[in-house]
Amino acid sequence: MKKAVESSGTGKKFGATQALKDISFVVNEGEIFGFIGPDGAGKTTLFRIITTLLLPDEGEMKVLGLDCRSGYKELRKNIGYMPGRFSLYQDLSVEENLHFYATVFGTTVEENYDLISGIYSHIEPFKKRLAGRLSGGMKQKLALSCALIHKPALLVLDEPTTGVDAVSRSEFWEMLKKLKPYNITIIVSTPYMDEAMKCDRVALIQDGQILSVDQPEKVRDGFSRKLFSVKAPEKYKLITALRSYPGISTAYPFGDAVHVTFKDDDFDDALYDYLDRMGITDVKITGTRAGIEDRFLELMGSKV
């Protein structure tokens, strides 16, 4: 399989701050590759290096087979980039934005319309509207259309779903899936763990370092302990009580439950008694499968 991006030992410093440290990964051609990590993990910096906007201080970065330092002119013709802040001209209409980006990349809207039609058709009814007056979800779709209009070999999306409603978010991922037949490699970053499941492969990134790279399912399987889900009506009381219980290893809130691991990997009735004494009733404890977030927290914990 051909490699779209190949990074070995990439590092970047801003003054005294080490933004990226020894980043190594490979993105295969045609896959959706996700970078999952909290704000400030270094995702944007990494994406700017991939898109030739920044130079790495150390290491090798090859994008589409070209070196990111020397090959930037050629690369810039073949990358579609959607920065974290949608880079649309607020005072131009939807249509004008799209045509502008098409012209700048040396193509026309008509030429690649089939590629974006699935996305653009959602906003086409508003094509005369100024981009500044669009809703978050529509801005996101327009920005994606603009990034795709020149049929790039590599599409780089920096937190495309941040600040967008839940419906638009899932629509957005559907659209990315539909791009599969065009063999466009997609690199996407997100702080939302649930979106990780929709990628072909993900890299967990934290404090400028990659913790793990694998398929989402395998990342989940990487969880090394037995995990339990604890539920009770008063969640806040429950979590504080659990954290002060001596047999508990970790307790993190997860949706309407608390995900818990124990020091000796299992629990006994003493826990029920303890919670009862603390005034917590209706407690349900079941074994559960670890999610990406659980694995992420485990990796973070082991690093400290």
Partner 1 sequence: MKRFLGFVKKEFLHIFRDVRTMIILFGIPAVQILLFGFVVSTDLKNARVAFLDLSGDEMTQKISDKICSSGFFRRGENLLNSNDIDRVLRGNKIKAVIVYEKDFGRKLISEGRAAVSIIADGSEPNMATLTTNYLTAIIADFNRELAGRSAAKTLLVQPEVRMFYNPSLKGQFMFVPGVITLIMILICALMTSITITREKEFGTMEVLLVSPLKPLQIILGKVLPYFLLSFVDVIMILLLSWFVFGLPIKGSLLLLLAESMLYIFMSLSLGILISTAAKNMQQAIFISLVGMLLPAVLLSGFIFPIENMPKIYGWVSAVLPPRYFITIIKNIMIKGTGFLYVWKETLILMIFTLVFIGLSMKNFKIRLQ
Beta carbon of residue 56, minimum distance to partner 1 (angstroms, whole number): 11
Nearer to partner 1, 111 or 221 (CB): 111
Contacts of 150 (CB under 8 A, 6+ apart): 77, 80, 101, 102, 105, 106, 107, 112
How many CA atoms, within 13 angstroms, populate the side-chain half-sphere of residue 6? 11
| CA nearest to 134, candidates 104, 102, 164, 158 | 164
Give the residues lining the site for partner 1 (CB under 8 A): 48, 51-55, 72-73, 76-77, 79, 81, 83-92, 96, 99-101, 103-106, 146-147
Beta carbon of residue 100, minimum distance to partner 1 (angstroms, whole number): 5
Using CA of residue 211, residue 248, residue 226, residue 289, what is the dihedral sign?
Answer: negative
Beta carbon of residue 48, minimum distance to partner 1 (angstroms, whole number): 6
How, if at all, do strands 79-82 and 66-67 pair?
unpaired
Beta carbon of residue 89, minimum distance to partner 1 (angstroms, whole number): 6
Beta carbon of residue 140, minimum distance to partner 1 (angstroms, whole number): 14
Nearer to partner 1, 92 or 299 (CB): 92
Nearer to partner 1, 93 or 161 (CB): 93
Nearer to partner 1, 51 or 206 (CB): 51
Beta carbon of residue 72, minimum distance to partner 1 (angstroms, whole number): 8
Nearer to partner 1, 37 or 152 (CB): 152
Nearer to partner 1, 150 or 201 (CB): 150
How, if at all, do strands 79-82 and 154-157 pair?
parallel
Token pair of 106, please? 């040396």
